[in-house]
Amino acid sequence: MRLRLPEERPTEPPTGYKIAHPVLSQDGTRAGFTGVSLGGALPYGVLDEARCVYGLRHRAPHRRCDCGFHCVHDRATAEALLCTTEHRAAALLEVSVLGAYIRFERGFRYARQRVRTATVGPCACGAVAAALADAGWGRPGWCGLTAACAACVRGRRSVSLAGFARLAGEGLRVRAGSGTAAVDPSAGLGVSELVAEAALLQARLDWFQTQLARLDESGERG
């Protein structure tokens, strides 16, 4: 006799929380995320379907496998994972659980998901992030990104928070978490995005001016 688990039919997709690393495609035309544990080798888009990380042909989530997207019910539980050394550069995601799912005490394992919001932490210097810059690691065809302020971006490959959201598509919203830099809490999301874009452009302009000054000095000496 086979024991069947109870089935749920929610009127709206459940909401879950998880952490992941932002990634940018090699050609700079696509943006997505990669997990911090079992599924870290398989970058995924904002709206995507889970695949078995072991290469098996069954549909995720399979009861006798660990495949499928994973998330927790509680935001605070996901935020606590960001305290660990290896996960401090990750972003906090708010997701919609789509398709078939298996409910556990602390979260879900499920077939499809939509990432609604991504919140990135502060820059390594402690300032509020203005962009996502090359983190120094990656996956085949994908460059890992980490939060960076305008002053720390310099000549690194980077994309603004608003630019990352545009490349990712599907209505994704990317927000900057708190940092040591002063932030006006009354400013709207659109204004914050424009300020971040302006700061990033200014940082790049300063870097180019420095390089031009060095070239001029070298020319005079020659």
154 vs 50, higher pLDDT: 50
**Which residues have a Cβ under 8 Å from the Cβ of 180 and sit 6 or more positions away?**
122, 126, 127, 128
| pLDDT-based confidence at residue 222 (cuts at 50, 70, 90) | low
pLDDT at 208: 74
% of the chain exceeding 70 in pLDDT:
87
**Which residues have a Cβ under 8 Å from the Cβ of 90 and sit 6 or more positions away?**
19, 20, 21, 36, 81, 82, 121
pTM listed for this prediction? 0.77
| pLDDT-based confidence at residue 37 (cuts at 50, 70, 90) | confident
pLDDT at 76: 96
Mean residue pLDDT of the chain comes to: 87
- Per residue in 120-153, pLDDT (tens digit) is 999 999 999 999 999 999 999 999 999 999 999 9
- Per residue in 77-111, pLDDT (tens digit) is 999 999 999 999 999 999 999 999 999 999 999 99
pLDDT at 113: 96
Q: What is the mean pLDDT of residues 45-49?
A: 97
Residue 160 has pLDDT above 80, yes or no: yes
- Per residue in 58-73, pLDDT (tens digit) is 888 988 898 899 999 9
- Per residue in 116-127, pLDDT (tens digit) is 999 999 999 999
pLDDT at 2: 58
CA dihedral of residues 188, 191, 197, 202 (deg, nearest 10): -130
| pLDDT-based confidence at residue 53 (cuts at 50, 70, 90) | confident
**Which residues have a Cβ under 8 Å from the Cβ of 28 and sit 6 or more positions away?**
159, 167
Scan for tokens 């006799």, then name that residue: 1
Among 8-22, 137-151, 167-181, the minimum mean pLDDT is found in 167-181
Q: Which of 48, 45, 44, 26 is nearest to 169 (CA)?
A: 45
pLDDT at 210: 75
- Per residue in 183-214, pLDDT (tens digit) is 444 444 466 667 677 777 777 777 777 777 77
